[in-house]
């Protein structure tokens, strides 16, 4: 357990001495006393021990930047020639080598627990070694940094520290996880392979010798000899310090550079890196904010999103005049009964993606979709005069033209018909709910628009008298024809119209079916789907699956008594059933 505390007005680290009750024997007191006399800039200062009710803790100098393992985190990117350049990596290894060289020549003599988490970085970017000493109190343990000879038998040694240094050096140069190998990722398996090497070679982390340049190769060779299987062949830290010192001097051709010069350069690199990290984090924040805003704008109107972000609330609002659009798919229930769930999802997704792309070109707001019902409004939440009727009308014509060319992927050749209804009038709007909030519309205008759709005909745009009156007040020349008196639920009989186009614009609208064909379609849609499947020569396996799904739909007889069987003579079917399954399905109309 590691905690923070304060000593002599400085932040310190409290490290629990788990195997001690605070009653130190003579040898332990001698060791702790030796720690108190260690004072070297690459070793953390030891201040003593403190005893609490819940344990005994050693008090060590605090590293402001955290552990070296944290600094090496490869999730953080650094620009070239700044913080994590090759010179800095050599400098970090050089700091560790100097600290260990001093430690090995002191009364402490050996570390025993050297690893990247026991190397800390202070606010001047100097690496300091911590957690040394206390070897009679703390158990060295077994870890990825542990030398193979100490994995096989307990103990600590200076040569074991050299091996641990090599593992840390590999972390530094590659900025990868501890003991990184492409072949193995399991910690226990790695330790087992180190402990029990094969007769041919010993197991070690990866080093990119193949891609190493001249300056990297010299360091790689030093790392390789430091983790040699034979402890006697490993160099001591005096030699390692000397080798890294020469490499470090050659990098910037300043053999006489003082420690302070080196420190100033490192702080300059760190300062440049901080600027880069601030820019990088700011860019990431802006990207995430824009992504979140984009998602919110898909779910709620822009003014509503801004109001929620600024005040947290959206007051309900009354709109004097808006135009509302509804549409649904004719025979959707029958289509679903002859389709798998995934085919239904794909069908709606294909249709609604086409609708959504059309909406982008008009000043409208998509309110919601419920099954095959598609609801759009214009004139809210931003008022647009009397343009709401124009935008909804043009959008409806574009959608109808799109459906004239649309084909189902799983039922190619079968026409898909939609009904469209439009109505204009006042309504109230507001955000409803806290979880998954929705921008909802309320009022008689919404109910009337829904009735306009449900009383309409396939491939027709059913428009109310108020909407026509608004269109007549604009400078746009829409074409429409009178349908006559139509009964609307909750309204009674109203005069309604069919919107057929706009003067000077070619929408290439599909020809709507006659009233007779419309009624026959609703009666015989199931048979049309089966005929479509047969003519498309779908595999017998698929046909069997669909026949099972549609078994209940095969009793369609016009008088309710006759059952259609597969043996029914194809030539006796109505002509429009044949036409419904040809490649150019518009001939059906």
CATH number of the domain within which 97 lies: 1.10.510.10
Q: Is residue 59 part of a domain?
A: no
- State the pLDDT at residue 76: 54
256 and 128 share one domain: yes
Kindly state whether residue 1 falls inside one of the protein's structural domains: no
pLDDT of residue 376: 94
Beta bridge partner(s), residue 327: 374, 420
Terminal-residue alpha carbon distance, the chain: 79
The CB-side HSE value for 106 (13 A sphere, CA atoms) comes to 21
Whether 233 and 108 map to the same domain: the answer is: yes
Q: Give the containing element (helix H, strand E) for 481.
A: strand 478-488
CA distances from 511 to 52, 190, 294, 459, 498 (A): 89, 72, 38, 7, 13
In whole angstroms, give the CA distance from residue 568 to residue 572.
Answer: 8
Q: Are residues 192 and 259 in the same domain?
A: yes
The reply to whether 11 falls in a domain is: no
Peptide bond into 443 cis (omega under 30): no
Q: Count the helix, strand and coil residues of the chain and give each as a percent rounded to the nearest 5.
A: 45, 20, 40
pLDDT given at position 70: 87
Specify the CATH number for the domain of residue 413: 3.30.70.1230
**Gap between the Cα atoms of 348 and 528, Å rounded:** 20
467 and 329 part of one domain: yes
Residue 438 belongs to some domain of the structure: yes
Q: Do residues 107 and 237 both lie within one domain?
A: yes
Domain boundary among 512, 547, 568: 512
**Domain containing residue 344:** 302-512
Q: Is residue 347 part of a domain?
A: yes
Does residue 556 sit within a domain? yes
**Do both 508 and 524 map to the same domain?**
no
Residues of the chain predicted below pLDDT 50: 79-81, 538-541, 551-589
**Residue 9 belongs to a domain:** no
Of 512, 536, 561, the last residue of a domain is 512
Domain termination residue (choose one: 512, 534, 566): 512
Residues 238 and 143 in one domain: yes
Are 83 and 206 members of one domain? Answer: yes
Per the structure, how many domains does the chain have? 3
pLDDT computed for residue 544 by the predictor: 54
pTM value > 0.85: no
Residues 484, 346 within the same domain: yes
507 and 397 in a common domain? yes
Tell me, yes or no, whether 191 and 216 share the same domain: yes
The predicted pLDDT at position 252 comes to 63
* 58 domain residue, yes or no: no
Using the Cα atoms of residue 355, residue 361, residue 362 and residue 364 in order, give the sign of their dihedral.
positive
Residues 497 and 525 in one domain: no
């Amino acid at each position: 357990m590691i905690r923070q505390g304060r000593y002599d007005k400085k932040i310190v680290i409290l490290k629990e001495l788990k195997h001690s009750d605070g009653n130190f024997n003579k040898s332990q007191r001698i060791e702790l006393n030796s720690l108190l006399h260690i004072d070297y800039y690459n070793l953390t200062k030891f201040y003593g021990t403190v005893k609490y009710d819940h344990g005994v803790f050693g008090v060590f100098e605090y590293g402001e930047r955290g552990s070296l393992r944290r600094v090496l985190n490869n999730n953080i990117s650094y620009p070239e020639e700044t913080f994590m350049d090759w010179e800095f990596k050599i400098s970090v290894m050089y700091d560790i080598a100097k600290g260990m060289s001093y430690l090995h020549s002191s009364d402490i003599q050996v570390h025993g627990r050297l690893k990247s988490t026991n190397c800390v970085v202070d606010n001047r970017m100097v690496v300091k070694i911590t957690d040394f000493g206390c070897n009679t109190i703390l158990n060295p343990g077994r870890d990825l940094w542990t030398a193979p000879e100490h994995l096989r038998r307990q103990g600590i040694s200076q040569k074991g520290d050299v091996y641990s240094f090599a593992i840390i050096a590999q972390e530094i140069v590659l900025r990868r996880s501890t003991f990184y190998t492409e072949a193995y990722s399991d910690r226990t398996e790695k330790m087992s392979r180190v402990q029990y090497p094969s007769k041919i070679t010993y197991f070690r982390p990866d080093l990119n010798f193949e891609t190493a340049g001249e300056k990297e190769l010299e360091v790689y060779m030093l790392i390789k000899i430091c983790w040699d299987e034979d402890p006697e062949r490993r160099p001591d830290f005096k030699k390692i310090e000397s080798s890294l010192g020469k490499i470090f001097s050659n990098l910037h051709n300043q053999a006489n550079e003082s420690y302070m010069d080196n420190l100033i350069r490192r702080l300059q690199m760190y300062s440049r890196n901080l600027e880069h990290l601030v820019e990088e984090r700011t860019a990431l924040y802006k990207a995430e904010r824009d992504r979140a805003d984009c998602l919110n704008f898909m779910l709620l109107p822009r003014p509503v999103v801004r109001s929620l972000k600024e005040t947290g609330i959206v007051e309900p609002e009354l709109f004097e005049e808006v135009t509302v659009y509804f549409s649904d798919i004719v025979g959707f229930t029958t289509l679903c009964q002859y389709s798998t769930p995934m085919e239904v999802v794909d069908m709606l997704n294909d249709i609604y993606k086409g609708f959504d792309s059309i909406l982008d070109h008009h000043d409208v707001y998509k309110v919601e979709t419920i099954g095959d019902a598609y609801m759009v409004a214009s004139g809210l939440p931003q008022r647009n005069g009397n343009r709401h009727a124009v935008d909804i009308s043009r959008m409806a014509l574009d959608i109808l033209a799109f459906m004239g060319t649309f084909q189902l992927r799983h039922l190619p050749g079968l026409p898909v018909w939609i009904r469209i209804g439009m109505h204009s009038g006042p309504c109230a709007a507001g955000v409803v709910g806290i979880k998954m909030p929705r921008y909802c519309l309320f009022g008689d205008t919404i109910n009337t628009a829904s009735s306009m759709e449900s009383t309409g005909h396939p491939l027709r745009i059913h428009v109310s008298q108020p909407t026509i009156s608004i269109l007549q007040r604009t400078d746009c020349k829409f074409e429409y024809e009178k349908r006559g008196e139509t009964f609307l639920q909750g309204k009674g009989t109203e005069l309604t119209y069919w919107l057929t186009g706009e003067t000077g614009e070619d929408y290439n609208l599909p020809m709507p079916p006659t009233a007779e064909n419309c009624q026959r379609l609703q009666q015989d849609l199931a048979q049309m789907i089966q005929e479509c499947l047969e003519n498309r020569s779908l595999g017998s396996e698929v046909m069997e699956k669909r026949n099972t799904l549609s078994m209940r739909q095969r009793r369609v007889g016009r008088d309710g008594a006759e059952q259609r069987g597969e043996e029914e003579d194809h030539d006796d079917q109505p002509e429009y059933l044949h036409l419904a399954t040809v490649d150019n399905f518009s001939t059906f109309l």
